Amino acid sequence: MTTSPAERPGTRYDIAVLGAGPAGLAAAVAAAGQGAGTVLIDAGARPGGQYWRHREGDEGALHHGWGHFRRLRRGLSAHGADYRPGHCVWHVERTEAGFTVHATREGSPRTVRAKAVIVATGAYDRQLPFPGWTTPGVFTAGAVQALLKGHGVPAGRRIAVAGTGPFLLPVAAGLAEAGVRVVGVFEAGLPTAFGRHPLATLRNLPKLAEGAGYLGTLLRHRVPYRTRTTVVAAHGTATVTGATVARLDQRWRIVPGSTREIDCDTVAVGYGFTPQTEIPLQLGCAMRRDADGSLVARVDARQRASVDGVYVAGEACGVGGAQLSAVEGELAGLHAAYATTGSAPDRRRLAGLLRRRAAQRSFAAALHRAYPVPDGWQTWLERDTTVCRCEEVTAGAIREAVDDLGATDPRAVKLYARPGMGLCQGRVCGYATTCLVARATGRRPTADDLRGMATRPIAHPLTLGALAAGDDSGGDDSGGG
Amino acid sequence: MTPPPFAFTFDGRLVRAEPGQSVAAALIAAGHRSWRHTRAEGRPRGVFCGIGVCFDCLVTINGTPNHRACLAEVRPGDVVSTQEGAGRDDLAC
Amino acid sequence: MTYPSSRPDVLIVGAGVVGAACAYACTAAGLRVAVVERGAAGGGTTSAGEGNILVSDKEPGPELDLALLSSRRWREISEDLGGGTVEYEAKGGVVVAGSRETADGLLRLTAGQRARGVDAVDIGPGELSELEPRVTRQAVGGAFYPQDAQVQPMLATAHLLRRARQRGAVVHTGTGVVGFVRDRRGAVTGVRTDSAEVPVVSARWVINAAGTWAGRLSRLAGAPVPVLPRKGYVLVTEPLPRVVRHKVYTAEYLANVASSDAGLETSVVVEGTRAGTVLIGASRERVGFDRGVSLPVLRTLAAQAIGLFPFLADVLLLRSYLGFRPYCPDHLPVIGADPRAPGLLHACGHEGAGVGLAAATGHLLAQHLTGERPDLDLTPFRPDRFEEATA
Q: Which domains does chain A have, with CATH numbers?
A: 5-124+274-345 (3.50.50.60), 127-271 (3.50.50.60), 381-454 (1.10.10.1100)
- Residue A203 pLDDT greater than 80, yes or no: no
Which whole-number Å values give the CA distances from A270 to A128, A182, A253, in the listed order?
8, 16, 18
Which of B38, B45, B50 is the closest to A143 by Cβ? B50
Taking contacts as CB-CB distances below 8 angstroms, the residues of chain A near C319 are 425, 456-458
> Is there a single domain that holds both residue C379 and residue C255?
no
Residue A253 buriedness (CB in 10 A; 0-12 / 13-18 / 19+): middle
CB contact under 8 A, C320 and A457: yes
Domain count, chain C: 2
CA A457 to chain centre: 19
Instruction: Identify the DSSP state of C379.
Output: G
For chain B, the chains sharing at least 3 beta-carbon pairs closer than 8 angstroms are A, C
For residues A185-191, average pLDDT: 93
Taking contacts as CB-CB distances below 8 angstroms, the residues of chain A near C316 are 461-464
Return all residues near A65 (Cβ < 8 A) that are at least 6 apart: A52, A322, A323
Comparing alpha-carbon positions, the chain A residue that sits nearest to C157 is A405
> Is there a single domain that holds both residue C140 and residue C287?
yes
Q: Among C327, C353, C372, give the residue marking a domain's end.
A: C327
Q: Measure the CA–CA gap between A224 and C255, rounded to whole angstroms.
A: 71
- Residue A3 pLDDT greater than 50, yes or no: no
pLDDT of amino acid C199: 96
Residue C186 buriedness (CB in 10 A; 0-12 / 13-18 / 19+): exposed
Contact between A141 and A185 (Cβ < 8 Å): no
> Is there a single domain that holds both residue C244 and residue C304?
yes
The total of other beta-carbon atoms located within 10 Å of residue C234's CB is 19
Q: Measure the CA–CA gap between B17 and B6, rounded to whole angstroms.
A: 5
Note whether C30 contacts B: Cβ–Cβ < 8 A: no
> Is there a single domain that holds both residue C290 and residue C268?
yes
- Residue A6 pLDDT greater than 50, yes or no: no
Contact between A468 and C237 (Cβ < 8 Å): no
Q: Measure the CA–CA gap between B61 and A331, rounded to whole angstroms.
A: 42
pLDDT of amino acid C390: 55
Taking contacts as CB-CB distances below 8 angstroms, the residues of chain B near A427 are 53-54
- Asked, as a colleague might, if the bond just before C282 is cis with ω within 30 of 0, I would say yes
Taking contacts as CB-CB distances below 8 angstroms, the residues of chain C near B91 are 134, 240-241, 243, 311
- Residue A408 pLDDT greater than 70, yes or no: yes
> Is there a single domain that holds both residue C167 and residue C179?
yes
pLDDT of amino acid A1: 40
Q: Measure the CA–CA gap between A225 and A161, rounded to whole angstroms.
A: 10
CB contact under 8 A, A56 and B55: no
The total of other beta-carbon atoms located within 10 Å of residue A214's CB is 21
Query: ipTM beyond 0.95?
Result: yes
Q: Which residues pair with C129 in a beta bridge?
A: none
Span A446-468, pLDDT tens digits: 999 999 999 999 999 999 999 99
Taking contacts as CB-CB distances below 8 angstroms, the residues of chain A near B54 are 140, 389-390, 424, 427-428
Instruction: Identify the DSSP state of C263.
Output: S
CB contact under 8 A, A406 and C306: no
Return all residues near C259 (Cβ < 8 A) that are at least 6 apart: C265, C284
CB contact under 8 A, B18 and A152: yes
- Residue B84 pLDDT greater than 90, yes or no: yes
> Is there a single domain that holds both residue C132 and residue C157?
no
CB contact under 8 A, A470 and C41: no
Tell me what the pLDDT averaged over chain A comes to.
Answer: 91
Contact between B86 and C315 (Cβ < 8 Å): no
pLDDT in tens, chain C (391 residues): 444 447 999 999 999 999 999 999 999 999 999 999 999 999 999 999 889 999 998 999 999 999 999 999 999 999 999 878 999 999 999 999 988 888 888 999 999 999 999 999 999 999 999 999 999 999 999 999 999 999 999 999 999 999 999 999 999 999 999 999 999 998 999 999 999 999 999 999 999 999 999 999 999 999 999 999 998 999 999 999 999 999 999 887 666 555 555 455 657 899 998 889 999 987 677 777 777 888 989 999 999 999 999 999 999 999 999 999 999 999 999 999 999 999 999 999 999 899 999 999 999 999 999 999 999 999 999 999 998 655 4
Q: Which among A169, A109, A181 is positioned nearest to A145, based on CA atoms?
A: A169
Note whether A42 contacts B: Cβ–Cβ < 8 A: no
Return all residues near A259 (Cβ < 8 A) that are at least 6 apart: A232, A244, A245, A246
> Is there a single domain that holds both residue C184 and residue C283?
no
Query: Which of C132, C238, C244, C312 has the highest number of chain B CBs within 10 A, making it the mutation to test binding with B?
Result: C238
Q: Measure the CA–CA gap between C143 and C97, rounded to whole angstroms.
A: 8
Phi, psi of A125 (to 5 degrees): -60, 135
> Is there a single domain that holds both residue C189 and residue C279?
no
pLDDT of amino acid C54: 93
Taking contacts as CB-CB distances below 8 angstroms, the residues of chain B near C242 are 92
Q: Measure the CA–CA gap between A38 and A27, rounded to whole angstroms.
A: 10
> Is there a single domain that holds both residue C223 and residue C236?
no
Domain CATH number, residue C220 = 3.50.50.60
Taking contacts as CB-CB distances below 8 angstroms, the residues of chain A near B39 are 392
Distance from CA of B39 to the nearest CA of C (A): 9
Q: Measure the CA–CA gap between B39 and C188, rounded to whole angstroms.
A: 53
Comparing alpha-carbon positions, the chain C residue that sits nearest to B89 is C241
Determine the Cα angle at B4 with ends B16 and B59, to 5°. Answer: 35
Alpha helices in A94-224 (DSSP H): 141-151, 168-177, 198-203, 205-220
Which residues on chain C place their C-beta less than 8 Å from a C-beta of chain A?
Answer: 40-43, 47, 154-155, 158-159, 161-162, 165, 171, 173-174, 235, 237-239, 275, 280, 292-293, 295, 298-299, 302-303, 305-306, 312-322
pLDDT of amino acid C2: 43
Q: Among C306, C327, C348, give the residue marking a domain's end.
A: C327
Contact between C260 and C359 (Cβ < 8 Å): no
Taking contacts as CB-CB distances below 8 angstroms, the residues of chain B near A152 are 18, 21, 25
Contact between A366 and A194 (Cβ < 8 Å): yes
CB contact under 8 A, B92 and C133: no
pLDDT of amino acid A211: 75
Residue type, A332: A
Note whether A427 contacts B: Cβ–Cβ < 8 A: yes
Which of C43, C174, C312 is the closest to A464 by Cβ? C312
> Is there a single domain that holds both residue C294 and residue C234?
yes
Which of C276, C311, C316 is the closest to B39 by Cβ? C276
For residues A403-414, average pLDDT: 93
Maximal C-alpha separation, chain C: 68
Comparing alpha-carbon positions, the chain A residue that sits nearest to C155 is A416
For residues A81-101, average pLDDT: 95
Span A35-75, pLDDT tens digits: 999 999 999 989 999 888 887 777 766 577 889 999 999 99
> Is there a single domain that holds both residue C248 and residue C298?
yes
Question: Which A positions 192-211 lie with beta carbon below 8 A of chain B?
Answer: none
Which whole-number Å values give the CA distances from A429 to A92, B36, C323, in the listed order?
24, 20, 25
pLDDT of amino acid A476: 35
pLDDT of amino acid A475: 38
Q: Which among A455, A456, A446, A457 is positioned nearest to A409, based on CA atoms?
A: A446
Distance from CA of C155 to the nearest CA of A (A): 6
> Is there a single domain that holds both residue C195 and residue C292?
no
Taking contacts as CB-CB distances below 8 angstroms, the residues of chain B near A136 are 33-34, 44-47
Contact between A227 and A187 (Cβ < 8 Å): yes
Determine the Cα angle at A250 with ends A249 and A256, to 5°. Answer: 10
Q: Which among C320, C311, C18 is positioned nearest to C157, based on CA atoms?
A: C18
Taking contacts as CB-CB distances below 8 angstroms, the residues of chain B near A43 are 52
| Half-sphere CA count of A130, side-chain side, radius 13 A | 29
Q: Is residue C76 part of a domain?
A: no
Q: Among C281, C311, C327, give the residue marking a domain's end.
A: C327
Q: Which residues pair with A41 in a beta bridge?
A: A18, A84
Phi, psi of A85 (to 5 degrees): -80, 170
Q: Measure the CA–CA gap between C165 and C154, rounded to whole angstroms.
A: 16
Q: Is residue C103 part of a domain?
A: yes
Q: Which among B79, B73, B7, B70 is positioned nearest to A56, based on CA atoms?
A: B73
Q: Is residue C72 part of a domain?
A: no
Which of C41, C312, C317 is the closest to A406 by Cβ? C41
- Residue-range definition of the domain harbouring residue C179: 10-50+153-227+331-390
Residue type, A66: W
CB contact under 8 A, A392 and B41: yes
Under 8 Å CB pairs connecting chains A and C tally to 101
Contact between A313 and A303 (Cβ < 8 Å): yes
Q: Is residue C62 part of a domain?
A: no
Comparing alpha-carbon positions, the chain B residue that sits nearest to A273 is B49
Residue A351 buriedness (CB in 10 A; 0-12 / 13-18 / 19+): exposed
Q: Which of A18-22, A200-204, B68-72 has the lowest mean pLDDT?
A: A200-204
Cα torsion angle, A18, A20, A25, A26, sign: negative
Contact between C160 and C24 (Cβ < 8 Å): yes
Question: Strand, coil or helix: what is C97?
Answer: strand
Span B40-65, pLDDT tens digits: 999 999 999 999 999 999 999 999 99
Query: Which of B48, B55, B91 has the highest number of chain A CBs within 10 A, making it the mutation to test binding with A?
Result: B48
Under 8 Å CB pairs connecting chains A and B tally to 101
Contact between C117 and C68 (Cβ < 8 Å): yes
Comparing alpha-carbon positions, the chain C residue that sits nearest to B64 is C314
Q: Measure the CA–CA gap between C211 and C37, rounded to whole angstroms.
A: 11
Q: Measure the CA–CA gap between C359 and C19, rounded to whole angstroms.
A: 10
Q: Measure the CA–CA gap between A65 and A46, rounded to whole angstroms.
A: 17
Domain CATH number, residue C297 = 3.30.9.10
CB contact under 8 A, C173 and A408: yes
CATH 3.10.20.440 fits B16-87, yes or no: yes
